[in-house]
Amino acid sequence: MGVMRIGHISIKVMDMEASVRHYEKVVGMRTTHKDDKGNVYLKCWDEWDKYSLVLTPSDQAGINHVAYKVEKGSDLDEFERRIREYGIGVEILDEGALPSVGRMLRFTLPSGHDMRLYAKKECVGTDVGSTNPDPWPDDLQGAGAHWLDHCLLMCEMNPEKGINKVAENTRFFMRVLDFFQTEQILVGPGGAIQLASFLSRSSKPHDIAFVGGDRAGLHHLSFFLDSWHDILKAGDIMAKNRVRIDVSPTRHGITRGETIYFFDPSGNRNETFAGLGYQAQPDKPVITWTEDQAERAIFYHTGVMDQSFTTVYT
């Protein structure tokens, strides 16, 4: 039983044509479906379910919801029970509420974000198939991202008022959804305040992350690449397409990941992320970064962080 991986993220975009062009030409996704509401659904070449990104037209940027896929339908019944017992309401969405997706659980995280769980989505296969596959397809575009890897959600934090939605989300994910913590940043007197938390349901360093901020929002959605070389090439592709780059290629201390951050045309922050970093397991000791090393934890090479990296988000 359990959550397997991130299934998709639904985000708001202000210019659909420009956004589709960005996610196809720069990230390397392809459109798999459009509905009568103007929403566009896309997938990466190495994903087998029908889509991992939903673009919805809006007059502002930001997140609609994030959805994780569970192993089987009966898991939804168990998670519904656990979530309700935790004190959070659950809405049951019938099959077809989203195209090609079965029954879903919809609920609001302690941080205020909309989350969904589902067990069924139409399987269309990877772009290289499952029989004698090539290592990559011949028609790759842009960065050629393999898959949607994770997202980082900003959570309200105000220690003076006793508000720490990072810690509340962490407790919920560990106690109810069976995630385990891989890393954290602790700040304040005696390291009593959990500023950031990284959680996994796999062998990856994180499947979701939370960082404290002034309000709830989306910090970034991240796409997996193979290597440091692919990160550099992605930077070249972004420059060629005049994409606004937020953080040029570098390494994180947290997760040991190789990274570049950039924005889609609406201002939603994207990341291309390479390197699995280390093998994450439930019995691995949690890695803790202290306040004096927090900037190096985020940008390991320079140990310097632009304030806008944690204050500008959608």
Please give the positions annotated as active site. 150, 206, 220, 252, 261, 271
Label each residue of the chain as H, E or C.
CCEEEEEEEEEEECCHHHHHHHHHHHHCCEEEEECCCCCEEEECCCCCECCCEEEEECCCCEEEEEEEEECCHHHHHHHHHHHHHHCCCCEEECCCCCCCECCEEEEECCCCCEEEEECCECECCCCCCCCCCCCCCCCCCCCCCCEEEEEEEEEEEEHHHCEEHHHHHHHHHHHCCCCEEEEEEEECHHHCEEEEEEEECCCCCCCEEEEEECCCEEEEEEEEECCHHHHHHHHHHHHHCCCCEEEEEEECCHHHCEEEEEECCCCCEEEEEECCCCCCCCCCCCEEEEHHHHHHHHCCCCCCCCCHHHHCCC
Rounded CA-CA distance 154/77 in Å is 29
